Amino acid sequence: MLGIEPNGVELWRRNVRRSTVALIGANALAAIVVFVFITWVIPVPAVADPERTTLLNLAVFVGYVAVVFPVVWVWSIRQVRPIRAWMVDGREPTPVERDLTLRAPLHQLQILAAGLGWRRGPFLRGQRGDLRCTGR
């Protein structure tokens, strides 16, 4: 509604909802693009059973996303708890809360960088008929 300022709780909920959708959507899309690129674009050595290897890679990818996305989401929510406190109370932030709020994008980047490090984790590739785990 135009001209009506939302209260702290409404503002918090709206911001968390929008941020969650944006971050999950962007990271899910990026993960899918990387998986497709690694699976079908980058040339790999010939394998005895490429379909089985692709299915195994897909299973590992889905399992990874199913575990890591919720962990990163909980970690992110815990990082912003101090911001929630002053916003919901409808008061001005203390200097420490203000600094935490201004550093929130950096903290989110650090969390996502940790996720990126995990995302670079093992992709299973078959070579000469044997499956082995390779990490970079």
Q: 9-60, pLDDT tens digit by residue?
A: 898 899 889 998 998 899 899 989 999 998 889 877 788 888 888 899 899 9
Task: With cut-offs at 50, 70 and 90, classify the pLDDT of residue 116.
Answer: low
Q: Give yes or no for a contact between 22 and 76, defined as CB atoms under 8 angstroms apart.
A: no
Query: Is residue 2 assigned to a domain?
Result: no
Q: Which of 133, 1, 123 is nearest to 62 (CA)?
A: 123
Q: For residue 54, is it within any domain? A: yes
Assess if residue 92 is contained within a domain: yes
Going by the DSSP 8-state scheme, the letter that residue 121 receives in this structure is S
**96 located within any domain:** yes
Domain that holds residue 43: 8-134
According to DSSP, the residues that pair with 134 across neighbouring strands are 123
Q: Spell out the residues 6+ positions from residue 31 whose beta carbon is closer than 8 angstroms to its own.
A: 61, 65, 119
Task: Tell whether 1 is covered by a domain.
Answer: no
Residue 14 resides in a domain: yes
The Cα-based distances of 47 to 58, 62, 105, 130 in angstroms read: 16, 22, 43, 8
Better pLDDT: 112 or 15: 15
Predicted TM-score (pTM) above 0.85: no
Looking at residue 42, the DSSP 8-state letter turns out to be S
Residue 65 maps to a domain: yes
Q: Per the domain annotation, does 3 fall within a domain?
A: no
Burial of 107 (0-12, 13-18, 19+ CB in 10 A): middle
Instruction: Name the domain count of the chain.
Output: 1
- Distance from C-alpha of 77 to C-alpha of 98, rounded to nearest angstrom: 17
First to last CA, the chain: 50
The token pair at 118 is 């995990």
